[in-house]
Chains A and B, each alone.
Chain A
Amino acid sequence: MAVAFDEMNIPGGDLRPAYQELARWLKETPPEALEYRRQEAELLFRRIGITFAVYGDSESTERLIPFDVIPRIMSGKEWSLLERGLKQRVRALNMFLRDIYHGRDILRAEIVPEDLIFQNPVFRPEMNGQQVPHDVYVHIAGIDIIRVDAEDFIVLEDNARTPSGVSYMLENREIMMRLFPDLFARHRVAPVERYPDELLSALRSVAPNSASGEPTVALLTPGVYNSAYYEHSFLADKLGIELVEGRDLIVKNNEVFMRTTEGVKRVDVIYRRVDDDFLDPLTFRPDSALGVPGLMSAYAAGNITLANAVGTGIADDKAIYSYMPEIVKFYLGEDPILKNVQTWRCREPKDLAYVLDNLSELVVKEVHGSGGYGMLIGPAATKATIEAFREKLKREPEGFIAQPTLALSTCPTCTASGLAPRHVDLRPFVLTGSKSTTIVPGGLTRVALKEGSLVVNSSQGGGTKDTWILDE
């Protein structure tokens, strides 16, 4: 594994320009003061109730995601490159989805193999030929970005279903501004607070034609026991829309209504944070108590917009991921601005042979996995784990992809023994409405708090940082 790219320090002792002021400030600030603010931040998070649930963890059902008070900083120049790359990628994702559920040019051109689509459990035949309002499938995308050097941004993963984490981007900033007003005064940090407004206008812009002039938007949550419930209530509050559960909605004559104290009221756009499988028990899982019976027929009738659309999983699948550079090129005729991580598709015999020979150096992921579960990190695994994984891989090679173990970039982070570099990634949020694609400057920086660890997932001990884009 190569030496990680240090986002603050240039080898040889100099600082990268974006971090110079922070470094000066850190020198002036005693460690006790940092520790004190860290505790204060934790208290604030707990009081506001910014918690998440860890499934299968009975003893503490609500946990805080550790927050690191040292911001992660990027220059405006770096951001504008990233921004262009993100817009390009999300545009391609939307065109790909539209194509897969309609003409399927990309399959005919044999750029993506057919069986990868049609035998994929996240492909939704219900969406074949169905018109979605304004042809937008992925209204909200969370693209996970990593850096390995000063030049490139690399996409680790596209999240095109129900990406979460944006509440942390907003709350982290709120808390940082409360705790470190002096540090903000010494930087020109681009604000992120207009995200809720941008989201609401994007959602309104994609309302179906049958909606009234002032379309009604609601956020559909699985409920208080969902791990991201805080975020759902937070966003509904910031957007000023109703936070509904499946039982609050009914479908009559292919229109969706919510039950209110004044009778039923029509809903036009649902920002849904419920997975496809649970949306409508009449179409998908019959045992789902979270969904709304008949929702899919209202959808088919064009009376409701679901954001994101049903069936977007086919675009962020890890097997499809490896084709993204070709997908971008196919639809846009441009070279992809953001790179992909080199990926071996275990479904292809040549790739599988390579992966099996090099397991101890690779990261192997389940095609349908998420949250950092079910993956093998070769360099960190024991011999026994690797051998067990080898058997799994041989049994079901099409279920896995492999990538080199990347040295994620590092940022200075508070640890028990003072400031130290820790590996980070970044999830910016890309919004697509009927007319435009927007990204607020920033995102969620996740940090692996354990020394040497590359796993940034909050379910596995990762923390978060505020992400600063300097306005230059």
Chain B
Amino acid sequence: MLSRTAENLYWLARYVERAEYLARTIDATLRVTALPAAYIGKTNEWDSALLTAGVAESFYQTHEEANEHNVVDYLSFSADNPSSIRNCIEAARLNSRSVRTALTSEMWDTINSAWIELQAVWSKGTSTREDLAKFLRFVQETSLRFDGSAYRTMLRNDAYWFSRLGLHLERADNTARILDVKYHVLLPEEEHVGGPLDFYQWSSILRSVSALTAYHWVYRETLKPWLVADLLILNGTLPRSLASCYDNLVRNLDQIGVDYGRQGPAQRHARGIRNRLEHSNMNDIFQHGVHEFIQEFITDNSRLGEIITKQYLI
């Protein structure tokens, strides 16, 4: 297929995934900040939201402080923020238009309808909490519909695999960013802190990757910080864990490699990261330092993005 088509499919999936992640982040932050101050401590959760979205630096160039009003607007609707939900959906639509021939009509319809709704219903932002909740649900449903229609309607060929690569790479990046911002509340078993304060932080992390219920199914335990870390980093059954994202990335890259009859640096690099995750356990990671581990992962992950681009997309 055309390199430009593959590139568009890859970025299309990334934008949709990012929009959903931003919606979840806002949703989780709203829940935490709705609690009485005694439960959440002194941290500014809206500041954390900006950090996990990776846009804190650009935000503070035009804003003094982070609060619900300006962060929700910045993450959702701001034209100045290149990764605001609005801009993600705009970019996804533009990408879809350039690769219409590679999309199924269901996928196109999802993106195009979302774009139409964005303009018709949400062009002025949201004025009430209720409105905002509706908007966030709309974004998440768009992502679900898009992902579902890709899964159910696309031919299993390179077009599908490139779009999956974008999805999993973006997803791994998002999960890693939450961990990067919240690593200080994720402590190993010996360092018992507990207390209501951290409990809400942990549940908020899980909520932002839609894993709160999954946690209880996997561990049948009350929330423990080391288990939260284990679930998000190493558990292969949770679709948003780093391990699971890399299982998928390796598989999709292998499928492309087999189809094209040729492997390359992207396949090797992805396999390297997957192997490291496979052979890690939480004790080692805590010893090494969660923060360092995650930072390395984020660098490795974006490196994979660069390698894929160089090998296939330009």
Please give the residue numbers on chain A whose beta carbons come within 8 Å of chain B beta carbons, in ascending order.
46-49, 223-224, 229, 233-234, 236-237, 242-245, 247-248, 258-262
With A46-B116, A47-B113, A49-B112 in contact, do A261 and B101 touch (Cβ < 8 Å)? no
On chain B, the residues within 8 Å of A260 by CB distance are 1-3
* B3 contacts A261, C-beta separation under 8 Å: yes
- For residue B144, CB closer than 8 A to chain A, the reply is no
Closest A residue to B109 using CB positions = A47
Q: Which bracket fits the contact residues of B?
A: 20 to 34
Majority secondary structure of chain B interface residues (helix, strand, loop or mixed): helix
On chain B, the residues within 8 Å of A245 by CB distance are 4
Contact of B101 among A47, A233, A248 (CB under 8 A): A233
Chain B nearest Cβ from A213, distance in angstroms: 22
Contact of A243 among B101, B108, B109 (CB under 8 A): B101
Contact of A258 among B2, B97, B98 (CB under 8 A): B2
Q: How far is the CA of A330 from the CA of B1 in the complex (A)?
A: 47
Q: With A224-B94, A259-B4, A260-B1 given, name 17 new contacts (CB 8 A).
A: A47-B113, A48-B112, A224-B97, A229-B97, A234-B100, A236-B101, A242-B1, A242-B5, A242-B101, A243-B100, A243-B101, A247-B4, A248-B3, A259-B2, A260-B2, A261-B158, A261-B312
* A233 contacts B97, C-beta separation under 8 Å: yes
Which parts of B128-161 form the interface with A (CB within 8 Å)? 158
- For residue B6, CB closer than 8 A to chain A, the reply is yes
Q: How far is the CA of A47 from the CA of B120 in the complex (A)?
A: 13
On chain B, the residues within 8 Å of A229 by CB distance are 97
Majority secondary structure of chain A interface residues (helix, strand, loop or mixed): mixed
Q: How far is the CA of A49 from the CA of B313 in the complex (A)?
A: 26
* A224 contacts B6, C-beta separation under 8 Å: no
On chain B, the residues within 8 Å of A247 by CB distance are 4
- For residue B217, CB closer than 8 A to chain A, the reply is no
Q: How far is the CA of A243 from the CA of B102 in the complex (A)?
A: 10
Closest B residue to A244 using CB positions = B2
Residue pairs across A and B with Cβ atoms less than 8 A apart, 14 shown, are A46-B116, A49-B97, A224-B94, A224-B98, A233-B97, A233-B101, A234-B100, A237-B101, A242-B5, A243-B100, A259-B4, A260-B2, A261-B312, A262-B260
Q: How far is the CA of A223 from the CA of B112 in the complex (A)?
A: 18
Q: How far is the CA of A46 from the CA of B158 in the complex (A)?
A: 29
On chain B, the residues within 8 Å of A223 by CB distance are 98
Contact with A along B254-272 (1 / 0, CB 8 A): 0010001000000000000
Of B101, B109, B116, B256, the most chain A CB neighbours within 10 A belong to B101
Which parts of B150-209 form the interface with A (CB within 8 Å)? 158, 162
* B94 contacts A261, C-beta separation under 8 Å: no
On chain A, the residues within 8 Å of B116 by CB distance are 46-47
Closest B residue to A259 using CB positions = B3
Contact of B1 among A49, A233, A261 (CB under 8 A): A261
Q: How far is the CA of A293 from the CA of B313 in the complex (A)?
A: 21
Chain B nearest Cβ from A266, distance in angstroms: 14
Q: How far is the CA of A49 from the CA of B105 in the complex (A)?
A: 11
Chain B nearest Cβ from A260, distance in angstroms: 6
Q: How far is the CA of A46 from the CA of B93 in the complex (A)?
A: 14
The 7 closest A-B pairs by CB, nearest first: A233-B100, A237-B101, A261-B312, A259-B3, A261-B6, A236-B101, A224-B97
Closest B residue to A241 using CB positions = B101
Q: How far is the CA of A224 from the CA of B98 in the complex (A)?
A: 6
Closest A residue to B162 using CB positions = A261
Chain A nearest Cβ from B264, distance in angstroms: 11
Q: How far is the CA of A46 from the CA of B116 in the complex (A)?
A: 9
Q: How far is the CA of A2 from the CA of B249 in the complex (A)?
A: 71
* B97 contacts A248, C-beta separation under 8 Å: no
On chain B, the residues within 8 Å of A261 by CB distance are 1-3, 6, 158, 162, 256, 260, 312-313
On chain A, the residues within 8 Å of B162 by CB distance are 261
Contact of A242 among B2, B109, B313 (CB under 8 A): B2
On chain B, the residues within 8 Å of A47 by CB distance are 109, 112-113, 116
On chain A, the residues within 8 Å of B108 by CB distance are 49
Q: How far is the CA of A223 from the CA of B6 in the complex (A)?
A: 16
On chain A, the residues within 8 Å of B6 by CB distance are 261
Closest B residue to A223 using CB positions = B98
On chain B, the residues within 8 Å of A259 by CB distance are 2-4, 314
Closest B residue to A258 using CB positions = B2
